[in-house]
Structure 1
Amino acid sequence: MAEAHQAVAFQFTVTPDGIDLKLSHQALTQIYLSGLRSWKKRFIRLKNSVITGVYPASPSSWLFVVIAILATMYTRSDPSMGLIAKIQEHLPVSAQCQTVVSAVVFSTLLWLSLILTMRLCLKQLLSYHGWMFEQHGKLSSTTKAWMALVRIFSGRQPLLYSYQGSLPNLPVPKVKDTIHRFLDSVRPLTDAHQFERMSTLAREFESGMGKRLQWYLKLKSLWAANYVSDWWEEYIYLRGRGPIMVNSNYYGMDFLYVTPTPIQAARAGNTIHACLLYRRKLNREELKPVSSFIPLCAAQCERMFNTSRIPGEETGTHKHTHKHTVQHWQDSEFVAVFHRGRYFRLWVYQAGRLLSPRELEHQVQRILDDPAAPAPGEERLGALTAGDRVPWAEARKTYFSSGPNKRSLDCIEKAAFFVTLDDEEQGMMGDDSGASLDRYAKSLLHGKCYDRWFDKSFSFVVYKNGKNGLNAEHSWADAPTVAHLWEYVLATDSFQLGYNTEGHCKGEVDPSLPRPQKLTWEFSPELQQQVGRSLAVAQALADDIDFHVFSFRDFGKGRIKKCRISPDAFIQLTLQLAYYRERGMFCLTYEASMTRLFREGRTETVRSCSNESCAFVCALEEGEEREECRRLLRAASERHQNLYRLAMTGGGIDRHLFCLYVVSKYLGLDSPFLKEVLSEPWRLSTSQTAVQQGELFDMVNHPEFISCGGGFGPVADDGYGVSYSLVGENMINFHISCKHSCPSTDAHEFGAQVRKALVDLLDLMYTEPTRTSTRTSTRTSRNYQHNPPAVKKDQ
C-alpha cells in the first residue's frame, strides 16, 4: 500500500483530545507545482488561441492600428468618415473619454475587418491548385504571381494551427465527372460485356438517383468543415465489427542498421522522454505547420496523445446503446506500461516537472525488476482489443463499469500513450537478416495478440535488445501524422538525448520518485472465457499473415529522377508489372493519397491500375519495340501523376462515391451501381511512407541511421498490402503482406517479382536490350486477348 500513502497530502488521527492533523509539506509542494504546470498550460493554450485566431495578423498589430487612427485624429482628419462620431453617441462614458474610447472601438472593428479580409483572401489563394498540374521547373506567370501573393498574406512565424481557419473546404465533385473517371478506371479490368453492363448502371445512377444524393452532399459541404471525414471515421473505422489488429492498425520500425543502446530500460527512457517533448511542442503549437508547397491541415494532430478508441454495441442500423467513439482527454501525466502480463501506471511528471530520460530509465527498470506475478487472467487481457469489437464492447460494459477493473481500464485509456516492454529480441539479426525483418514486422503488427493495447492512439514497443517500434490505431489519424512523431522521436533519441558510454540515459535520478503503480484487476471465470475467445480469434488472424520486408539497394529515387519519371509513378508501375507477372492479370489497385490541402482532409484513393499502365505492362511482356515501351512507360507515368494530383485536389473518385452511398442508406434507397462499386475488392493496396523531416537526419555522413519505414496488413483476403519508402537517393524499402490461407498469394514470391520488375524498368530506360522478355507466355497472351486494355488519351 505504499502507493496509497504517497498519494495523500495529509494524515489525521482521531484521539480523545480531538483530531491530530499532520500535513505533508512535500506532498503539498508537489500539488502546488503540479497545479502551477496545469495553469501554465491553460495560459499557453489561451495565448495560442488568440494568436491563431487573428492570424495572419498579430495581436500587436491591433496597437499599431489604434495608434495610427489616434494620430490621424490628432491632425484633425477623420479616417472613419463619420463612424467615430456615430459611435460616440452610444457610449455610456464621460465626454472627456468619448473621443478616445470611440477611436479605440473603431480601430478594433477596423482591425478585425482587415483580419477577416486577409483570411478570406488567403483562403481563396489556398484554393488554387493549378501549380500542381504544371511541368516541373516550368511555372506559369499565374503561378508565380500566386506564390508572391501567398507569401504576402501568409504572415510570419505561423503556429501549428495558424492556417486552419484559412484552409478551403473539400469541394464536392460533379457526379458526371466522378462517373466518367470511375468508368475509365475499370475499363482495363473488365471485358466488353462487363464494361457495357457497368456503364449502363452508371448512366442510370447519374441521370436518376445520383442527382438527389448529390444535393444532400452539397448541403453538407456548406454546413460541415469537410463532407467526407466524419463519415469516413465512423463508417470505415469505428463501425467495423472485426478485429482492428492487422485489419486496421499499422506499424513503424526502428533504425534498420543501428540500435543506439542494447539496454531495454534506457531505450524506453529516451523514447518516452522524446515523445513527451514532442507532446509539449504540440501543446504549445511550436511545431512548424507541415506543408506540401502550401500548408496542410493539422487537425489530426489534436488527438495524438491521451486518446483511446472505445468500442460500442450495435443494436440496429443507426442506433447504439454505447456508440463507437474515439475518446480524447485534455491531458495526462502518466503512461501505461505492459511487461510480462502486468500493467503499470508510470508517472512521467514529478511536482510539475517532466522526468529526465535517466529517471524514466530508472522507473522502467523498476518495472522490469518487479517480481510480482500477473493476476489470474491479467496476462492476456489485451486480447480483448485484438479480437472482434462487439464481444469487447459487451465485456467492457459488463465487467469494466465499476470497481478496480474500471479504475485500471481508465488508467490505460487515459494514459498519454501505451508502452510494451517486450521480452523478445527483434531487428535485423543473425545470418538470415531477411527472415529476422519479417519476424520483426509481424511482432510490431500483432505481437502475441495480447501484449499490445490496440485501442490506444499509438503504442511504443521496446524489445529486450533495445530495438523499438510502434503500433498505431488508424481511426483518429492517418500514417503521415504518426510518422512525423516517429521521425522526431528517433532523431531526438539518438542525436539530442543520446546515451553515456555504458549505454544508459544521461542525467540524474531523484531518489524520492514513487514506484510505478501496478494496476489491479478482478477476473471472473466468465471474463477469462471471453478473453480466451477473443485471443483465439486474434491468434488465428495473426497466424494467417505472411510478411516480407526487404531493402532494395541497387538504386533509388536518385537514378529514377534522372529518367525524368516520378519515383512514385515508377514504383506503382513496378507493382503493376510484378502483379501481372505473378498472376497473369490486372487488379483494382488502391494507392493512398492525402487531401490535407483542405480543412480536416484525410485521404483519397488513387486507382493506380489505369488504361495506360496496363498498355505499358502488356507491351513490355509481349516484347514490343523498346522505344514503344519507353513511350508507353512515360504515358503511364504522366497518367499516374495526373490521377494523384486529381485525388489531392478534390477530384478523386472513391470518397465521393462512398459519401453518396452513405446518403442513400440514410434515405433508405438502394442503388445497384453504388452497391457494386463499393463491394469491389482492393487486391493490391499500396501506400508510400514519405520522409517528412529530412533535416533531422544526416543521410550523407550517417546513412546507417535510417528507418525501414512501416507497413500494414492486406486489405483483401486474396490480395497484397504493400508499403514502400524511398529513403535517401539509393534505397527503397518494401513491406509486403498477404495471407497464408490464400493459395495464390505469397509475400516472398511477390517480393522477388518486385525486385525483378524494378531492375527491368530501369534497364528499359537506361540501356539497350540484351534479351527478349522472359515472361511472354501462353497464359499471358490468352489473358490479354480475352481482356484487352482500352488505351485512351487523357480527356
Structure 2
Amino acid sequence: MAEAHQAVAFQFTVTPEGIDLQLSHQALSEIYLSGVRSWKKRIIRLKNSVITGVYPASPSSWLFVVIAILATMYTRSDPSMGLIAKIQDQSMSTQCQAVLSAVVFSTMLWLMLIFTMRLCLKQLLSYHRWMFEQHGKMSNTTKVWVALVRIFSGRKPLLYSYQGSLPNLPVPAIKDTVKRYLESVRSLMDDTQFERMTKLATEFESSLGNRLQWYLKLKALWAANYVSDWWEEYVYLRGRSPIMVNSNYYGMDFLYVTPTPIQAARAGNSIHSFFLYRRKLNKEELKPVSSATSTVIPLCAAQCERIFNTTRIPGEETDTVQHWQDSDYIVVYHKGRYFRLRVYQAGRLLSPREIEFQIQRILDDPTAPSKGEAKLGALTAGDRIPWAKARAKYFSSGVNKRSLDCIERAAFFVTLDDDEQGMMGDDPAASLDRYAKSLLHGKCYDRWFDKSFSVVYYKNGKNGINGEHSWADAPVVAHLWEVRKGRDFQLGYTAEGHCKGEVDSSLPQPQKLKWEIPAECEEQISQSLAVAQALADNVDFHVFSFREFGKGKIKKCRVSPDAFIQMALQLAYYRDQKRFCLTYEASMTRLFREGRTETVRSCSSESTAFVRAFFDDNTPSADVCRRLFRAASEKHQLLYRMAMTGAGIDRHLFCLYVVSKYLGVESPFLKEVLSEPWRLSTSQTPPQQLELFDIVNHPEYISCGGGFGPVADDGYGVSYCILGENMINFHISCKHSCPDTGSQKFGAQIKKALHDLIQLLSPNQKEPNKTEDGQQEVKKDK
C-alpha cells in the first residue's frame, strides 16, 4: 500500500554486489517539512512570550529608552542620578564604559517602567464599580477610569497579553458569605428550618470558619486563582459517574439553513476552519475577548490554551486532563471504524476540497470494524472507574495503546453520523428534540466523550459539537464554534455543493486504526454501553424557539433581558411544581486571572415575593406586581454583578469545604450547604461575535444555541440563547424517571410565563386575574 511505503524513509537489501540502499525522497521531504513547521511554531511561541511578557510596553520601546538615555548623556546631564557611574566597569575604555553602563541602566529603567505599567493596569482592572452603575449613566470616576484603562492597555494586544495584568480573585469575608447565604435560602425554608440553619451558620462563622478562611487566604496569596484548580479537580475530574449527559454539553448548527447537503463537503470546510482557528490560536493572533458590558475590559484567556490536542484521561480515583503542544491529524469515526486523517501534506494545511476528498474516502471505505471496535467509544460514556481499569489492563501496550494514543493525541474527534438531523420533516419541533439528544449522547458509542470537543457531521449536511467540560467552560467552545460557522460562508461551496479548490491525487489514504480487543474487554464495553444507554434513554429533552418577542421589547420595558427570563423561569417553575427551589444560574468570573464560573442564586426573597403576589387573589392591582417584579429583577442584577466581581457565595463555600476535608474536620454547616440539590439549573449562552452574522438582513443564519443535561434527578436543566431583537431559544432537559417533571410541559409553562410578564410590564395592558385552573391571566388596569 502506498501509505505503508511512505511510512519509512529508506529501504535496504543485501545483494551479491553489496548493500542496495533506496531512499524515499518523499518521506525525507515530509520529515524535513515537519521539522521546519515544528521549529517555526517554537520560534513563534518564543516571540509571543517575549511580546506578552513586556506588555503593555513593546520590545521596540527598549530601544527608545536606550537612545533617550544615551542622548541625555551627550547633553552632559545624568538622568540616573549617579547610578550609571556606579555601573561602569573599570576594565574597559571610557567610552565603552559609558555606553555599556547606559544600556544596563536603560534596561533596568525599562523593566521598572513595564512593572509599573502592569501594576497600574492590574489596579485599574480591579475597579468594578462601573458594573453597578445605572445603565446609560456613567459617573465621572468611571469615565476617568475608562480613559486610564485605554492609556495603560497598550496597542495591538495578543491573545494572552493581559494575563499578567488581570487581578486575582478576591476571597470574600466569612461574615459576608454567611450573611448572603442565609439571605438566599430564607424564602426556601420555614421558620424552624431557617432558625436551625442560622444557628449552624453562626457557629461556623465564629469558630471553624475563621480557621478555614486563614488557609484559603494563604492559598490566594500563593495561587493565581484560589478556586479554579480545586473546581476542575473536585467538581469535574473526581466525579466517577458518566460524563456523557451529566457533564458534557452540546452546540447546534444553523437553525434554518444548511450550506450544503453533502456530508463530506460540510466536513471539509468545517475541519479546515478549525485548523485555521488553531493556527491563529497558536500565533496568539485571536483578539482578546472582552466583557460584553464593556469592550475595554479584557477577560481571562487561560482556558483557550487547551482547546485542541487535549483529552481527559480516566483514573480510578481521579481523571486528569492531558494536553499536547501539537497534532497534525484528526481521528474520524464512521460505521464502527476509527480512522487517522492527516490534515497536513508537505508542511501545508490541506485545502477544504482535499479534506472533503479524504472524508469521502472514509465514507466509501467498505472495511468492516475489527472485533470489538464498533462500540469501543462506550467506555468513555459509562462510569469512569471501569473505563480506567479497562484502559490500564487492555490499552497499555501493543497495538491497542498505539491506536488509543492516536485518538487521545488528535487535534479533535470527528463522527460521520449515518442519521439525518435538524429542523425538518412534518414535525420540526420533535425533530429539534431528537437533534439535541443526538448531540448530547448519540448512540452512546459513536462519540469519544473524553476529547476536549467532538464534531458530528450528519448525513444531510447538518453538524453539531459536543464539549467535555472539565478543561474549560462553554463560552470558550462557543467562540470557536461561532468562528467556524462564520467561515463556512467565507470559504463557500460550488454550485454542486462541493468545497472549492483542487485535489492533490497523491494524498495517502486515511489510516484505519487497528485494535485487538479481547473478549473480557468486549464484556466491559457492553456493560459500559448498558449504563450509558440507560442514562441516555432517561433524558427527556425539548428545544424550542420563542419568537413572539425578544430582547427588543423587553428592553423597552426597562428590564434586563436576563433578569426578565430568570423571573419567567421562577414563575414557570412555581406553576409547574407548586413550590420554589434552589436555582443555579452560571455566571463567569473571567474578569479575574484563571477565572471560571460562579453561581447566581436566582431564587431570592424578592423573586418569591413577586411570584406569590402574582398568584395571590388578594393582590389589589398590577401595580403591586410590577413594583415587586422591579425589585426582584434589580436584586437579580445585583446578585449577577456580585458573582462576576468575586463576591459570590458558592465558590467560597466550596473552597472552605475542600480545606475542611484536607484538615480532616467536619462542618455540619458546610456539609448541609454542599448537599443542597439544584432542581433548576440554568445558563445563558449569549452570542459573542455578532459581527460574523447579519441576522437583521439574513435572519435565517441563526443558531439554536446549545444545551446540557439535568443536574438533579427531579429537576430541570435550562439553557437559553437571546438572538437578535425578536427570538429566544430554549433547551430544556429533565428525566423520564421523575413523574413530576416533563420537558414539554415545562416548555409550555415558560412560554406562558414570558407572555404573562410582558403583558404585566407593557403599558395599557392587563393586570393579574385567576383562571378556572388557578393559573393567572391578565385583565385591564383600573
Question: Does TM-score exceed 0.5, indicating one fold?
Answer: yes
Partner of residue 779, structure 2: none
Partner of residue 620, structure 1: 614
CA distance in structure 2 between the aligned counterparts of 1:699 and 1:268, rounded to whole angstroms:
24
Give the 3-state SS of the residue equivalent to 2:580 in structure 1. coil
Letter in 1 for 2:305: E
Shift of 1:376: 1.2
1:686 aligns with 2:689: no
Letter in 2 for 1:67: I
1:172 aligns with 2:163: no
Superposed, 1:533-544 pairs within 5 Å as 533-544=527-538
1:339 aligns with 2:338: no
CA deviations 1:421-462 (Å, max 9, x no partner) are: 000000001010000000000000000000000000000000
Partner of residue 53, structure 2: 53
Are 1:175 and 1:206, in contact at CA under 8 Å, matched by a contact in 2?
Answer: yes
Partner of residue 790, structure 1: none
1:558 aligns with 2:573: no
CA distance in structure 2 between the aligned counterparts of 1:98 and 1:515, rounded to whole angstroms:
65
Shift of 1:17: 2.8
1:227 aligns with 2:223: no
CA distance in structure 1 between the aligned counterparts of 2:47 and 2:438, rounded to whole angstroms:
43
CA distance in structure 2 between the aligned counterparts of 1:218 and 1:488, rounded to whole angstroms:
39
Shift of 1:769: 5.0
Cα pair distance change 1:83/1:396, threshold 3 Å:
same
Partner of residue 315, structure 2: 312
1:590 aligns with 2:584: yes
Match of 1:749 among 745, 754, 776: 745
Shift of 1:768: 4.0
CA distance in structure 2 between the aligned counterparts of 1:22 and 1:234, rounded to whole angstroms:
52
Are 1:418 and 1:460, in contact at CA under 8 Å, matched by a contact in 2?
Answer: yes
Give the 3-state SS of the residue equivalent to 1:313 in structure 2. coil
Shift of 1:227: 0.2
Match of 2:356 among 343, 357, 361: 361
CA distance in structure 1 between the aligned counterparts of 2:173 and 2:2, rounded to whole angstroms:
65
CA distance in structure 1 between the aligned counterparts of 2:91 and 2:123, rounded to whole angstroms:
40
Match of 1:460 among 443, 455, 464: 455
Give the 3-state SS of the residue equivalent to 1:593 in structure 2. strand
Partner of residue 509, structure 1: 503
Question: Any stretches of 5+ residues in structure 2 without a counterpart?
Answer: 777-782
Letter in 1 for 2:70: L
Partner of residue 34, structure 2: 34
Letter in 1 for 2:574: Y
Partner of residue 432, structure 1: 427
Are 2:310 and 2:451, in contact at CA under 8 Å, matched by a contact in 1?
Answer: yes
When structure 1 is superposed on structure 2, of 19-28 and 434-443 the one drifting more is 19-28
Are 1:449 and 1:542, in contact at CA under 8 Å, matched by a contact in 2?
Answer: yes
Letter in 1 for 2:301: A
Partner of residue 668, structure 2: 672
1:414 aligns with 2:417: no
Are 1:699 and 1:706, in contact at CA under 8 Å, matched by a contact in 2?
Answer: yes
Cα pair distance change 1:324/1:254, threshold 3 Å:
same
1:376 aligns with 2:371: yes
Cα pair distance change 1:462/1:197, threshold 3 Å:
same
CA deviations 1:494-524 (Å, max 9, x no partner) are: x211101000001111111101000000010
Cα pair distance change 1:649/1:772, threshold 3 Å:
closer
Partner of residue 181, structure 1: 180
Partner of residue 254, structure 1: 253
Letter in 2 for 1:102: S
CA distance in structure 2 between the aligned counterparts of 1:36 and 1:634, rounded to whole angstroms:
62
Partner of residue 290, structure 1: 289
Superposed, 1:470-509 pairs within 5 Å as 470-493=465-488, 495-509=489-503
Are 1:239 and 1:324, in contact at CA under 8 Å, matched by a contact in 2?
Answer: yes
Are 2:419 and 2:459, in contact at CA under 8 Å, matched by a contact in 1?
Answer: yes
Shift of 1:775: 6.0
Cα pair distance change 1:612/1:749, threshold 3 Å:
same
State the aligned residue count. 770
Q: CA RMSD in A?
A: 1.2
CA distance in structure 1 between the aligned counterparts of 2:24 and 2:766, rounded to whole angstroms:
84
CA distance in structure 1 between the aligned counterparts of 2:630 and 2:82, rounded to whole angstroms:
65
Give the 3-state SS of the residue equivalent to 1:456 in structure 2. coil
Letter in 1 for 2:230: W
Partner of residue 393, structure 1: 388
Superposed, 1:44-83 pairs within 5 Å as 44-83=44-83
Partner of residue 780, structure 2: none
CA distance in structure 1 between the aligned counterparts of 2:108 and 2:581, rounded to whole angstroms:
59
CA distance in structure 2 between the aligned counterparts of 1:263 and 1:545, rounded to whole angstroms:
30
Letter in 2 for 1:525: A
Shift of 1:776: 8.3
Match of 1:600 among 585, 591, 594: 594
Give the 3-state SS of the residue equivalent to 1:277 in structure 2. helix
Are 1:621 and 1:776, in contact at CA under 8 Å, matched by a contact in 2?
Answer: no
When structure 1 is superposed on structure 2, of 243-252 and 40-49 the one drifting more is 40-49
1:737 aligns with 2:733: yes
Are 2:538 and 2:735, in contact at CA under 8 Å, matched by a contact in 1?
Answer: yes
Cα pair distance change 1:738/1:500, threshold 3 Å:
same
CA distance in structure 2 between the aligned counterparts of 1:342 and 1:726, rounded to whole angstroms:
39
CA distance in structure 2 between the aligned counterparts of 1:367 and 1:404, rounded to whole angstroms:
21
CA distance in structure 1 between the aligned counterparts of 2:773 and 2:349, rounded to whole angstroms:
65
Are 2:377 and 2:447, in contact at CA under 8 Å, matched by a contact in 1?
Answer: yes
Letter in 2 for 1:53: G
Match of 1:299 among 297, 302, 326: 302
Are 1:251 and 1:711, in contact at CA under 8 Å, matched by a contact in 2?
Answer: yes
Are 1:584 and 1:779, in contact at CA under 8 Å, matched by a contact in 2?
Answer: no
Give the 3-state SS of the residue equivalent to 1:295 in structure 2. coil
Shift of 1:93: 4.1
Partner of residue 144, structure 1: 143
Are 1:621 and 1:775, in contact at CA under 8 Å, matched by a contact in 2?
Answer: no
Give the 3-state SS of the residue equivalent to 1:758 in structure 2. helix
Partner of residue 609, structure 1: 603
Letter in 2 for 1:524: P
Partner of residue 652, structure 1: 648
CA distance in structure 2 between the aligned counterparts of 1:496 and 1:779, rounded to whole angstroms:
50
When structure 1 is superposed on structure 2, of 754-763 and 13-22 the one drifting more is 13-22
Are 2:117 and 2:152, in contact at CA under 8 Å, matched by a contact in 1?
Answer: yes
Give the 3-state SS of the residue equivalent to 2:155 in structure 1. coil
Letter in 2 for 1:444: L
CA distance in structure 1 between the aligned counterparts of 2:74 and 2:224, rounded to whole angstroms:
45
Letter in 2 for 1:747: S
CA distance in structure 2 between the aligned counterparts of 1:638 and 1:10, rounded to whole angstroms:
72
Are 2:714 and 2:741, in contact at CA under 8 Å, matched by a contact in 1?
Answer: yes
CA distance in structure 1 between the aligned counterparts of 2:771 and 2:434, rounded to whole angstroms:
32
Are 2:760 and 2:767, in contact at CA under 8 Å, matched by a contact in 1?
Answer: no
Letter in 2 for 1:235: Y
Are 1:622 and 1:776, in contact at CA under 8 Å, matched by a contact in 2?
Answer: no
CA distance in structure 2 between the aligned counterparts of 1:56 and 1:15, rounded to whole angstroms:
66
Shift of 1:26: 2.0
When structure 1 is superposed on structure 2, of 7-16 and 598-607 the one drifting more is 7-16
Shift of 1:261: 0.3
Shift of 1:96: 3.8
CA deviations 1:338-361 (Å, max 9, x no partner) are: 000000000000011000000000
Cα pair distance change 1:536/1:219, threshold 3 Å:
same
Are 2:310 and 2:408, in contact at CA under 8 Å, matched by a contact in 1?
Answer: yes
Are 2:583 and 2:601, in contact at CA under 8 Å, matched by a contact in 1?
Answer: yes
Letter in 2 for 1:286: E
Partner of residue 705, structure 1: 701
Are 2:575 and 2:775, in contact at CA under 8 Å, matched by a contact in 1?
Answer: no
Letter in 2 for 1:659: C
Q: TM-score w.r.t. structure 2 length?
A: 0.97
CA distance in structure 2 between the aligned counterparts of 1:467 and 1:657, rounded to whole angstroms:
43
Give the 3-state SS of the residue equivalent to 1:734 in structure 2. strand
Superposed, 1:631-650 pairs within 5 Å as 631-650=627-646
Shift of 1:281: 0.7
Shift of 1:166: 0.1
Partner of residue 102, structure 1: 101
